[in-house]
Structure 1
């Protein structure tokens, strides 16, 4: 599909969404003419399905037309807020959270099994929601973010309250996320092992290059022969930066490998170490290529200048490959750890 085809597809999807929203508005207007009991019976199922699927616009429209629909219950005695949390519909969660008159109602309410809102946040997210996030470690991080967010919302005494089978929210979280935690630990260790090898090789090469400088040393004073050449200064600085960043990267990956891998570590500690490790590894590869190019310039710069063009182009290949392969992961890590987050104001409508 070409660029014009992609634009056309986006416009068509936007048009369908607008038409669907207009249909919902028309239906709500028609339903408002029915009796209260009939209207609520129709809206209850609609708003619960919309909350489950994360369709905020439908939830918003129904609540604006029928405010009491926010109190509806599902078959398992779950309210709309419970459905949003259990299905990880963050947009619906944010929408109801900003309704000050209603959020206090949900802070301590329990379902038929004695689970409060934090118990539901402690359960494992649906598979389709987990698959939206790359890597088991980031999936675990998102689950902890949900748990922490709901933990701040519920009443303090609800955080340790037991359900009907005698389990606290923390116990439910540990039990439900046991396999995901193990997969996250394995993913982190596999990634760190692979990157540790690369960082070790770069550190070894750069240390050797610092000892055996290009051109050798002057026998009369022991200084490098090319010490006054600008290209040599570029080589020396690039070599030092590459050595230091690769050593830092190596230490970060070793710290990941020796981590205790507690649940809390997946929230900030492990992602931060991986971000620093990948970032410094990228810098070490970049400056290694700069040092290599500076060395070639010192050797061939005057007599064989034509050699520098293809070699310089090829020197960009490892850097470009690393960016293409690891940049998406690095962006996901930074955004998930230090980004604005998925929780916040959802609508500009003046809800109660």
Structure 2
């Protein structure tokens, strides 16, 4: 509504209530539950609150950012007090996600590292070269296993960095969501690559040059990949949209036109 007002928005930059609260003091208050529930998890809810405060800071005069009300509270103090519970819930939520994913990443790292040492088919006792070196499926196995090992290790380190973070308010704005995005994406890559490596091993050891075996192997391999993608991709999408695609301001829909007409009517009075 402030953006739609246009030139008259300077009036709202300096307005205060009877307690000398400016716009930032009011922004510091916790949003209603029906507004918070639009975001997935307490961490993204706190992130949205921080984004809203950051957006309003662009509208008010710089002196209002640190100005106190009659209770000697700055806008930042009001925000911290109002969002104390949400901060704890956000920390708990993001730690739970990071702990669960770090266990999965550690398990994948262990599996693919063991698979890299004990290559399918074994090695030549004289030269030490793997028996299936010249097979295309073995090359696929080696590449997929390496990708899975590197990406799962990266995911594990990222999730550990989340668990050891300080969890300050400003960290929920970009730093922690960005780490969670990187961790989930690398974990998705690691899981997919692990399934591909396992499928290549099955084909090498049990197919006996029968190409029709590829069909059931590929069908079963798609199941865990599909389930993981369907279950985790919505969270990744929410994180991306909330962190990098958030928008405030004027919209070109019927609601903004309705608001604009009412504002014009109000000022005409």
Instruction: Settle same-fold status: TM greater than 0.5.
Output: yes
Write the mapping of 1:36-115 to structure 2, written as runs, cut at 5 A: 92=1, 96-115=2-21
Given candidates 165, 169, 172, the residue that maps to 2:71 is 165
Matched residues, number: 257
| Residues 176-202 of structure 1 deviation map (CA, whole Å, 9 limit, x = unaligned) | 000000000000000001001100000
| Residues 96-142 of structure 1 deviation map (CA, whole Å, 9 limit, x = unaligned) | 32433211111111012221000011110011100111100000000
- Using the TM superposition, give the Cα deviation of residue 271 of structure 1 relative to its aligned residue in structure 2, in angstroms: 0.2
What is the SS of the residue equivalent to 1:194?
helix
Given candidates 55, 74, 81, the residue that maps to 1:175 is 81
Quote the residue 1:251 is aligned against: 157
Quote the residue 1:322 is aligned against: 228
Q: Does 1:301 align with 2:215?
A: no
Instruction: List structure 1 runs of 4+ shifted beyond 3 angstroms.
Output: 303-308, 347-352
Quote the residue 2:58 is aligned against: 152
Quote the residue 1:195 is aligned against: 101
Task: Measure, in 2, the Cα distance between the counterparts of 1:325 and 1:142.
Answer: 23
What is the SS of the residue equivalent to 1:153?
coil
What is the SS of the residue equivalent to 1:123?
coil
Quote the residue 1:344 is aligned against: 249
Quote the residue 1:223 is aligned against: 129
Task: Measure, in 1, the Cα distance between the counterparts of 2:157 and 2:14.
Answer: 45
Q: Does 1:284 align with 2:190?
A: yes
Task: Measure, in 1, the Cα distance between the counterparts of 2:236 and 2:143.
Answer: 26
Q: 8 Å contact 1:144–1:267 — kept in the other structure? A: yes
Q: CA RMSD in A?
A: 1.7
Q: Which moved more, 1:137-146 or 1:320-329?
A: 320-329
Whichever of the two has the greater Rg, that structure is: 1
The two structures have a TM-score, normalised by structure 2, of 0.91
Greater RCO, CA 8 A, separation 6+: 2
Q: 8 Å contact 1:242–1:285 — kept in the other structure? A: yes
| Residues 310-352 of structure 1 deviation map (CA, whole Å, 9 limit, x = unaligned) | 232121111111111111110000011111x221332497999
| Residues 225-284 of structure 1 deviation map (CA, whole Å, 9 limit, x = unaligned) | 111111110000000000000000001100100000000000000000000000000000
The two structures have a TM-score, normalised by structure 1, of 0.70
- Using the TM superposition, give the Cα deviation of residue 166 of structure 1 relative to its aligned residue in structure 2, in angstroms: 1.3
Q: 8 Å contact 1:242–1:283 — kept in the other structure? A: yes
| Residues 78-98 of structure 1 deviation map (CA, whole Å, 9 limit, x = unaligned) | xxxxxxxxxxxxxx3xxx324
Q: 8 Å contact 1:246–1:280 — kept in the other structure? A: yes
Quote the residue 2:267 is aligned against: none
